[in-house]
Amino acid sequence: MTPVSRTEAHRVFADLYRKPRTPDHQQLVDEAILRSNDVFIRIDLIKKVDEDYQNKNKPKDKPKSYFEDKPERESSSRGDSQGKQEQKRQSELVSTESAKQKQAAQKKKAEPAKPATGGGGFFAALFGGGGGQTPIAKFAKDTGAIDVGLFGRNPSISPSAERLFRTLKEDTIIPTIQALRTAEQQGWRLWTPLVYNIIANFSKFFNAFVSLDSLFIDKISPDIFLDRSVKMQMFYIRYLHRDDAPKIILENLPKIVEMDEKLANKMSAVMTGINFGIGLESEKPKLSDVITAFYIVSKKKMVTWDEIIADLRVPAIQEHKFQASREIQKEVEITVAKISDDINVRVFKKEELQNLRTRYFTIDDKGKINFEFLNIVVDDFTKLHIPEAAKSQSVKNTYKSMPHRLLYLLLRDIQVVYINMIEGYIRLGDINQNQELLIVQPGLFRQEIETMNNLVRAIETFNKKFPSFQYTFQQFNSDYSKGTMDQIVNSILRVLIDSAEFFGQFANKLNIMVESHLMARASESKGKGTDKVAVTKEKVIEEIKLQQRFIPHYDKTLVTKERINGMTVEEIIIQLTKYLYNYAVIFKDPQTSQKLTAHRKIEQELIALNKEYERLTNSSFSSDGSGLAAAVAEDEPGDLGE
């Protein structure tokens, strides 16, 4: 007869299961029904086992237990690769299958409970012996998890213990499982490994717990329950190991539920399920007592919860590494690697900016830049180009106080004093013995030179057109920030802004030469120099890129009529770069000004990145990035973190 409804199917299943069989035959049936939770499939499995057993019609050696035979059967049906995977799973410290095998072995060793003897006579034997309660009877009275019956000789699981597994309804179970699954998938982005592992372990426990309700539709043997509930037991033991687990779950899980629009509307149902799960030790009978009761009924002797814990040997929840699936582990590793890269980039950038600040700027304790070097430039310019006013401080002050006049002076100074260093041959040596040498390939700075010449012509044209134009730095600062409708001011303002950008870009290009040179010198001083780098001491610079190479003839002195006479090539290039960066700040180049303050933002970013790194790895940042997450097999409590 084929059942047409699920209710009828459960009746058919019960009849088939209770059918008289030999022990070997019944063992095969017990193994078969563990393969599926669906009652219809279980009926087909039992019929198939009965048919196969009858067809063999010959004696059979004692069959292996389901858990001993499982690797062989899976190997033959699923292939060598899955067989190896099963063997690997069984080699872990405490796996689900090994726990079941241990239970089976210990069950075989268990001796039947001996009837109480000794003092007390007939009534003592009838009601418990020795004038007092047996341990099992006392356990039953204290916990309510066992019914001992009138004579206490055939203890069974109490109805209240069975009801514990059928309390929750689907409208609570489903949203709770969805919330816990979301926590497992996304919680690592928010929580420390300890918080994540506690909630992920609770998720696995809850899923395993609610899956057991189908076992209680019909009366089942305690042995089947214990086999089917090993995962649940192990996850629950791990949960109970942490006294702070309920608090951590209640403080953190609602936050991730609120972040999900679909789950946020189900918060009440989710919290009902969560509160039920974390309260399983608060009501009578407690879940730990119910589990203990199944062991007592199965072994027909007293068993304690501590003995169960010792037998299962469940490893504690990891505090420092994520106990997660391989997919989550991979995401954690990728995230940590990206954070590591971001930290390295910012550390390098911070050092670069710090070097720029200390090498090219003079900044006091209050963060104010010192521009006193301008006095040397202004004095030299007036001496060469306005000799009659060389001793007039008012003339010098006029140049320093008016941005358009100062700009003209600075550009002309570069043209006269420095431009030969990057445009053509220069004379190096001393007054008596020198030679003309190239530092930079001609044309490498052609664009900068052309831009500078155009700016000089633009200012000369403006000064000739408006010789009496008065414009202070205070006005320039205001017009730069707020803008102006004055056409004359706008025309010079545009030149000043373009000049600031020119100074900044020119300085950046020269700074690459300087950085490359200093890296080469540092390597040489540490004994790590190479012949390839050493030859650049005499080799003309043909391209501007960051690399280890020397500025050619950097230690030779310049022979010239200008004020830089007697300085080395290295000193002149660094000085020119310094002046250009300072000029860029004076005329408000935003990119250069940002470099002077960007270290503050980078420091805040580094604080945040290091904090995130420490959350994910439970360690301070180091360049190796080791020890990120512990990979675990899906739903295998014994393998988690081991």
Residue 480 CA to residue 39 CA, distance in Å, equals: 81
Average pLDDT value for the chain:
84
Q: Is 389 left (phi over 0), alpha (psi -120 to 50) or beta?
A: alpha
Q: Is the pLDDT score of 190 beyond 80?
A: yes
Mean pLDDT of 338-362: 93
* One-character DSSP codes across 469-511: ----HHHHHHHHHH----HHHHHHHHHHHHHHHHHHHHHHHHH
pLDDT digits 0-9 by tens, 475-485: 999 999 998 88
Q: Residue 234: name the closest of 201, 282, 211 by CA.
A: 201
Mean pLDDT confidence for 41-62: 75
User: Residues 212-249: pLDDT tens digits?
Assistant: 988 887 777 889 999 999 999 999 999 999 999 999 99
Q: Tokens in use for 1? A: 């007869």
Model confidence at 195, pLDDT cuts 50, 70, 90, reads very high
Q: Is the model's pLDDT at 296 over the cut of 60?
A: yes
pLDDT reported for residue 106: 52
On the question of pLDDT at 28 being above 60, the answer is: yes
- List the single range of 11-25, 175-189, 349-363, 503-517 with lowest mean pLDDT: 11-25
Average pLDDT over residues 550-568: 95
Name the amino acid, one letter, at 295: Y
Do 252 and 246 meet the contact criterion of CB atoms below 8 Å apart?
no
Give pTM, 2 decimals. Answer: 0.65
> Do the beta carbons of residue 556 and residue 538 sit within 8 Å?
no
Per-residue pLDDT at 218 = 73
What DSSP designation does 80 have?
H
Contacts of 81 (CB under 8 A, 6+ apart): none
For residues 492 and 487, what is the distance between their CA atoms, to the nearest angstrom? 9
**Is residue 443 exposed (0-12), middle (13-18) or buried (19+ Cβ within 10 Å)?**
exposed
The average pLDDT across 73-96 equals 41
Q: Where are the beta strands (DSSP E) in 430-482?
A: 434-437
Residue written as token pair 């505090």: 319
Condensed to tens digits (0 to 9), the pLDDT of residues 396-409 reads: 888 899 999 999 99
640 pLDDT higher than 80: no
Model pLDDT, residue 237: 96
- The confidence score (pLDDT) of residue 403 equals 95
pLDDT at 396: 87
Tokens of 390: 């060389």
Residue 324's DSSP bridge partners are 631
